[in-house]
Amino acid sequence: MLSRSKLFLYNRYQFLSAVPRIFNKTFLHTYQKSSPPANLPDSYLFYPGRTSMLRMEEFYHSTLSTDLMILSYKDPESERKFIEKRQKEHLPIKKSVLTRDTNPFAINRPSPKSRGNKKRLPVPPKQCHKTIPKLLKIDVHCMIKEAIHSKQHLLSGIMALQCITSERPTVVYSKTGVAQWKLRKDMPIGCKVSISGPPMYTFLDKLVEIVLPRMKEWHGIPITSGDQNGNIAMGFPASALSLFPDIEGNYDMFPLMTGFDVIFNTTAYTDYEGRMLLSGFQIPFTPRKKMGRKGRTNRN
Amino acid sequence: MTKSLSTTAIRGLLARTIQKSKPKSSSPDIPGSQNANITDTRYQIIKRILYETPKPELPKMTEQDLERHETIDRAWKLFLRNQQEERENELAAKYRMLNEANIELEKLGPRLFNSAQMGNKIMMFPRQMKIPTETPPLNGWNYDYKPPPSDPTKDSKPLPPDSTRDSP
């Protein structure tokens, strides 16, 4: 019997040097190449180093982290209740599934569907100085409708995202087809880029200092935004793209101005903590539930 | 077949394309034909910039250069590591003090302890908080600043141009 490696390779062509040798005991296959180490310019992982002081990062380390530690501190009782709530196993639809532990035929079956489609959210660790909410990465994504009839429109989006974030975006392909919009499956329809570290903090700086203050008719991120696990997302109209200094300078070069959305990926386990962190970076939130006229909380 | 493009060459190409592709004042023969013309050339240029620029020439390092590079790299990583450890130790000490104080407070009595906990309070950083900058603001200190009436439950208005932030 061949022993299978337990390492899951996200991408077949992942370079082995990115993973320590201890965790990757596979043999060197023909499609895997050992590349130069990440500290040499030859490697694609090489990052030449930050070119300027990262204002947002320094602010986080000097001020925000301590404040967040105090604000997100929970007394042992409420912490225990929260962890229990996350660990709770919801009742399944069929009662017969409850005999799984005693039934030998039920081993390795997929987990049963819960009543009401309730999902189990990640269970947070016990709080300590390491569990302070932190901004991990930002995903910028752009869906380009015009790419349905003409694929070249994607290039404008790719160029725009590259200018904003300083990282090369990847193309997003459609997962399903919609006949009404003439969309087929596996059609290139958008682009996305994931940034972390110095590029992330410079992007955040540009956003907070230049783009958000100049946006017209923008009330802030809705306070209900979030995926119940600390990640906050927001969308921008096409007019916001022209406010970025990287694009404002070369406005004529871009044939198509697209809207885009920004997803802040944080280490917080609740939306509340995620919002607290982002408000520290001076991102405004509004009590409105939706963007636009429909989101008004008080009529007249 | 592909010509190598330097940054100056790219800039020149784009400038000429934009000039050429701008619609002329004379009437067009086919409506929309000029729009198609504008996008075609720019997309070709963008495609060339994104996917056909030659790889930059990497510096050829001698053995001494490599040694220097490695030493600097290790020194920088060591510096970052020390900085990280210092921060972690500070945070750990603060957390320990915070935790112990909370435990002591719990022993004192329920009233003080309960009022000290966060409970259901909504806490966010104030919008007037200034993230420190390297240089002072261009407009100086705004002595006539008046904080907006804070009532988060009411319908929010579109955010006004911030008077606290310096104009570009």
Q: Round the CA-based radius of gyration of chain B to a whole number and report it.
A: 30
Look up residue A191 and give its DSSP letter.
Answer: E
**B68 in contact with A at a CB cutoff of 8 Å?**
no
State the count of interchain CB pairs (< 8 A) between A and B: 130
Chain-chain contact of B124 with A285 (C-beta, under 8 angstroms): yes
**A290 in contact with B at a CB cutoff of 8 Å?**
no
- The whole-angstrom separation of Cα A143 and Cα A192 is 9
pLDDT of residue A1: 38
> Which residues in chain B are closer than 8 Å to A272, comparing Cβ atoms?
122
Chain-chain contact of B92 with A252 (C-beta, under 8 angstroms): no
**B79 in contact with A at a CB cutoff of 8 Å?**
no
Closest CA to A119 of A271, A266, A228, A270: A228
Closest CA to B126 of A192, A64, A178: A64
Nearest chain B alpha carbon to A56: B131
- The whole-angstrom separation of Cα A288 and Cα A298 is 9
> Which residues in chain A are closer than 8 Å to B156, comparing Cβ atoms?
219-220, 286-288
Average pLDDT for B79-96: 97
Binding-face residues of A in 74-103 toward B, CB within 8 A:
74-75, 78
Element (H or E) spanning A141, and its range?
strand A135-143
Nearest chain B alpha carbon to A289: B155
Classify residue A138 by burial, with Cβ atoms within 10 Å: 0-12, 13-18, 19+: buried
Contact A275, A283 (CB under 8 A): no
pLDDT of residue A31: 67
Higher pLDDT, B148 or B126: B126
- Provide φ and ψ at B102, rounded to 5°: -65, -40
A 10 A CB-CB count for A69 gives 19
Q: What is the DSSP string of A231-272?
A: -EEEEE-HHHHTTSHHHHTTGGG-S----EEEEEEES-SSHH
Distances B123 to A68, A108, A212, A224, A274 between C-alpha atoms, Å: 10, 45, 22, 15, 11
Average pLDDT for B2-27: 66
- The whole-angstrom separation of Cα A16 and Cα A27 is 10
Element (H or E) spanning A194, and its range?
strand A188-195
pLDDT of residue B21: 62
pLDDT of residue B160: 58
Chain-chain contact of B168 with A253 (C-beta, under 8 angstroms): no
pLDDT of residue B168: 39
Chain-chain contact of B132 with A55 (C-beta, under 8 angstroms): yes
> Which residues in chain A are closer than 8 Å to B49, comparing Cβ atoms?
159
Mapped onto helix, strand or coil, the DSSP state of residue A99 is helix
Distances A267 to A12, A76, A227, A244 between C-alpha atoms, Å: 28, 20, 13, 27
> Which residues in chain B are closer than 8 Å to A276, comparing Cβ atoms?
123-125
Chain-chain contact of B87 with A65 (C-beta, under 8 angstroms): yes
Cα B54–chain centre separation: 28
- The whole-angstrom separation of Cα A123 and Cα A87 is 6
Chain-chain contact of A132 with B102 (C-beta, under 8 angstroms): no
Banded model confidence at residue B17, pLDDT cuts 50, 70, 90: confident
Element (H or E) spanning B39, and its range?
helix B33-51
Q: What is the mean pLDDT of each run of 10 residues along chain A (300 residues)?
A: 44 49 59 74 81 94 96 92 93 81 83 87 95 97 95 95 95 95 95 96 96 93 92 95 94 93 97 96 86 51
Chain-chain contact of B118 with A71 (C-beta, under 8 angstroms): yes
- The whole-angstrom separation of Cα B70 and Cα B76 is 10
pLDDT of residue B1: 42
- Tens-place pLDDT, residues B38-76: 557 899 999 999 999 888 888 888 999 999 999 999 999
Chain-chain contact of B91 with A280 (C-beta, under 8 angstroms): no
Mapped onto helix, strand or coil, the DSSP state of residue A139 is strand
Nearest chain A alpha carbon to B134: A55
pLDDT of residue A103: 83
ipTM over 0.90? The verdict is: no
> Which residues in chain A are closer than 8 Å to B43, comparing Cβ atoms?
152-153, 155-156, 255
